[in-house]
Amino acid sequence: MKFYCSATSAVNDASNDAVEKSNCSSNHPSMATLTDMSTSSSSSDDETQHVHFQSVEIREYDMILGDHPSSHNGPPVTLDWEYDETILLPLDQYEFNHAPRRTKQQMLLDGSYRAQILSNCDDYTDDEMIKAENDCKKIQKQRDSTIRMLPFSKMEEVTQSAGRKLKRLQSKHK
């Protein structure tokens, strides 16, 4: 499955200010890197400066087996580092044709869907997906244990400090 992602960036030459914005989507190629920008600015600091974008470059990323421990059911997924540049669109055409923004709920992928995506690409065995899922569960248990022990951390620090002080006292008396 391909995953579309992009970053919007522009530089206003007059002030050297950089602006960046990133978004991703798995349903449609609605994310893009804006390139071929032109800037116009006035010579006076009192007037407003403008940045204009002319085109949108859409990149396509593969979804691969990941290691994110917040994945609760099914194998975790992530985007591959490699991407395919697909098309370059004029900005107006992109804005007119792109799909509406998805909600956070629509962006969630349940575990069975993630497993299906990874199974369909034939790059991962069931054993690899189960191992990645078990690794995530192990990290989740470690995090839960840390959270349960937080109320006792101050007492542990005091106990360790007292132990060090006693050792110093004992070493002075020898």
Which tokens is 26 given?
A: 């798995």
Pairwise CA distance, residues 6 & 60, whole Å: 9
Q: What is the per-residue DSSP string for 56-70?
A: EEEEEEEEEE---TT
Whole-structure pTM value: 0.50
112 membership: H or E segment, kind and range: helix 111-120
Query: Closest Cα partner for 13 from 47, 55, 52, 46?
Result: 52
Summarised one tens digit per residue, pLDDT across range 125-165 is 888 888 888 888 898 899 899 899 888 888 888 899 999 99
Q: What is the per-residue DSSP string for 123-158?
A: SS-HHHHHHHHHHHHHHHHHHHHHHHHGGGHHHHHH
- What's the rounded mean pLDDT across residues 8-29? 43
List all residues 6 or more positions away from 20 whose beta carbon is below 8 Å from its beta carbon: 7, 8, 9
Summarised one tens digit per residue, pLDDT across range 47-101 is 788 888 888 888 888 888 888 887 778 888 888 888 887 788 888 888 888 888 8
